[in-house]
Amino acid sequence: MGHGLLSALHGARGRNASIIALDVRELAPDIRAHCDQAFIGDICDHPLLERLLAMYEIQEIYHLAALLSTRGEFAPETAHQVNVGGTLNLLHLAAEQARSHGRTVKFFFPSSIAVYGMPDLATKRASGSVREDQFCEPHTMYGCNKLAGEHLGRYYAHHYRKLAKDRIEHPVDFRSIRFPGIISAETMPSGGTSDYGPEMIHAAAAGRAYCCFVRGDSRIPFMTMPEAIDSTLRLMAAPRPVLRRCVYNVASFSPRADDFARLVRLAFPSAEIEFEPDLGRQSIIDSWPECCDDSAARADWGWTQSHTLESAFSGYLLPRISSRYSNTAATAPAGRAKAADMLKK
Ligand code: AKB
């Protein structure tokens, strides 16, 4: 998501704003071209963050670094260090920037539906759409970390150094969205549990068989990458007084895993998809809600989804994915166009 956001910020930025990127890996040249400076490094590297603090007058921070839910269960303590330690470091950087320049620093934190923990499948199915304040008892380290990040952000925004004589009020303007699974036509996710959605589509387009690690009737919310980026920019652009919360749900579509498979087979008739649930990863998906109530985001900052599952396939995924895998038999133009047409109907 960070890479897509860099391009969007580059297009949307004001005349005097510079974009400074920090990533653990070197950026691809086309993404690097959107930045004024790009550092290779880690958000857990204190001296590097101190250097950034000294070098720049930072006005906004978009903190996208995290170890996701599946990877986090293999190394929970490392996930905690990166996800919570890294968030704390960046919030501290924001607060210190605010202190040295006397201006509130805006901070964007992508939270996740992983903060929810549905106690069992029956409750998940009966609950339908969940509000921000319901079922916040995560089952994964990643979910615990995201919930901790939300609380830390609220603390830095409203209560930081409560007892200090030289405290400044509201050093950080913390804004967060609880994202569903995100599907990108350009990049493959890794280390997440919602990965089965994008993996199924990319595998079919590349002409590879796919074994889905959850049951066909598994349902969680998803959205496309452009919707995720659009929601981030919209929330960050909203005037502070209209925001009644720090953390918002957003929603787009909530397909079952076998709905994905149906549309993938329609678009790529030779796709081979099997379902072979992995009990551990299935239990994570079963702990996430079927759908999120995004009425607060709609009311406060005008969030609206752009897609249904069908229009996400026909208007975004199929055209883009097909050009990415353009030399595989699975993406033969005639079949693709027919599938996109059928989806539109
Ligand atoms: C994951 O699967 O861990 C992420 C998420 C839902 O936050 N994609």
Cα 343 to chain centroid distance, Å, stands at: 26
Ligand 1 center from residue 39 Cα (angstroms): 26
Residue 69 Cβ inside 6 Å of ligand 1? The answer reads yes
Instruction: Find out whether 312 and 224 touch, Cβ atoms under 8 Å.
Output: yes
- Mean pLDDT estimate for the chain: 94
The string of pLDDT tens digits covering residues 112-123 is 999 999 999 999
Q: Is the CB of 287 under 6 A from ligand 1?
A: no
Instruction: Please name the residue whose Cα sits nearest to atom 1 of ligand 1.
Output: 192
Closest ligand 1 atom, CA of 68?
A: 3
**Cα–Cα separations (whole angstroms), residue 245 to 22, 69, 147:** 28, 25, 14
Give me the amino acid identity at 224.
T
* CB of 68 shorter than 6 A to ligand 1: yes
Distance between CA atoms of residues 201 and 271, nearest Å: 9
CA neighbor of 19 nearest in space, from 62, 54, 50: 62
Report how far ligand 1's centroid is from the alpha carbon of 91 (Å). 22
Q: Which element (helix H / strand E) includes 236?
A: helix 225-237
**Tokens standing for 133?**
């304040």
Q: List the chain domain ranges.
A: 42-344
**pLDDT at res. 336:** 59
**H or E segment and range at residue 121:** helix 121-127
* Superfamily name with CATH number, domain 42-344: NAD(P)-binding Rossmann-like Domain (3.40.50.720)
Nearest CA to ligand 1 atom 6: 181
CA distance 106 to 91: 10
**pLDDT tens digits for 279-315?**
999 999 999 999 999 999 999 999 999 999 999 999 9
| Closest ligand 1 atom to 195 CA | 2
Q: Is the pLDDT of residue 258 over 70?
A: yes
Q: Given the CA of residue 189, which atom of ligand 1 is nearest to it?
A: 8
